Amino acid sequence: MKKLVPISTAILVLMVILACGFGSRPTATPQPTRPAATKMPAPTATNTPKPTNTATPAPTPTGAPEVNFAVDRTQIKQGECVTFSWRVENVKAVYYYREGDRWEDHGVAGQGSQQECPPSSTAFYLRVVKPDESIDLRQIAITVEPVPTETSASDPLGGTRWRVRSYRDPASSGGLSPVLIGTTLTVDFGRDGKVSGSASCNTYSSTYVVQGNLLAITLPTATNLLCTEPTGIMEQETVFLALLPTIGSYSIAGSQLTLNSVSGQIVVELVAY
């Protein structure tokens, strides 16, 4: 006969089984839900201009004085023109003027140009005052070839122009003296009985009378400029102007003119220009 388990014991066993969850599936513990990743919009690239490196101009240095004086040509025919140009830097003042003018009245800018149509051979100057007050004087002489003209039978000299090659210096023991290099002596005979020209530094004017081969020139008047270069220029001018009233006759041989004193001594030798 089977032995029966007490009811109390069976109930106890059942309670243990229920307490341990025997026979039932374990309940999965729900995992926390990860929040969906929010896709952030990509930053928009902004083209920010880079700072521009602007070069600051350096101040112009004060350098040594620079002087440039030029002309397109130095020999022309009467009625033609030339163009002078100059560029001067780092100086105090600049003056451009022609022979016989007052330089004080002709101040110009440091860079410029000027057209000139001289009726006769003329020198032009650029006078530059440097920062130390010293003077830089530049000269360019323009030679003008005269238009051939018929001369009067009574005045073969009228309308002719001559350049001095040599002259007699009474203070010199020798013969004729050549004209100083860099200077010009001229004698221009007008058809109106007037004579004028360059005396080296200054220009002069006078009157003349021709009778046959005899020639008389009155005491000339001249401008009042003072030149220091080349050495001896003012002495040459003084001697030349003093010779003109001593002339008593002349002779022409081709393109050469000879002026003689009253006693027949050669005083000045010239060539046509």
Residues 259 and 166 in one domain: yes
Higher-pLDDT residue of 54, 191: 191
The last residue of a domain, from among 145, 170, 200: 145
**Nearest alpha carbon to residue 184 among 154, 129, 144:** 144
Question: Could you count the other beta carbons within 10 Å of the beta carbon of residue 238?
Answer: 13
The residue type of 90 is: N
Model confidence at 119, pLDDT cuts 50, 70, 90, reads confident
Q: Does 220 sit behind a cis peptide bond, omega within 30 degrees of 0 on the bond before it?
A: no
Model confidence at 47, pLDDT cuts 50, 70, 90, reads low
Residues 169 and 136 in one domain: no
The residue type of 104 is: E
Predicted local distance difference test score (pLDDT) of residue 144 = 83
Model confidence at 121, pLDDT cuts 50, 70, 90, reads confident
Domain range for 178: 161-272
Using the structure block, give the residue that is written with the tokens 């050469």.
256
In-domain check, residue 31? no
C-beta separation of 216 from 248 below 8 A? yes
Using the structure block, give the residue that is written with the tokens 């270069």.
229
Long-range interactions of 212-219: CB distance < 8 A, separation 24+: 213/249, 213/250, 213/251, 214/248, 214/249, 215/157, 215/247, 215/248, 215/249, 215/250, 215/259, 216/247, 216/248, 217/244, 217/245, 217/247, 218/245, 219/244, 219/245
- Over the stretch 250-265, which tens digit does the pLDDT of each residue have? 999 999 999 999 889 9
The last residue of a domain, from among 97, 115, 145: 145
Please state the φ and ψ torsions of residue 258, each to the nearest 5 degrees. Answer: -120, 130
How many structural domains comprise the chain?
2
Residues 212 and 264 in one domain: yes
C-beta separation of 217 from 240 below 8 A? no
- Tokens representing residue 140 in the block: 């360019």
Residues 83 and 174 in one domain: no
CATH of the domain at 214: 2.40.128.270
CATH of the domain at 117: 2.60.40.2470
- Over the stretch 48-98, which tens digit does the pLDDT of each residue have? 555 555 544 444 446 899 999 999 999 998 889 999 999 999 999 999 999
Predicted local distance difference test score (pLDDT) of residue 171 = 76
Q: Minimum mean pLDDT among 67-76, 147-156, 237-246: which range?
A: 147-156
Measured at the CA of 17, the angle between CA 15 and CA 18, to 5 degrees, comes to 65
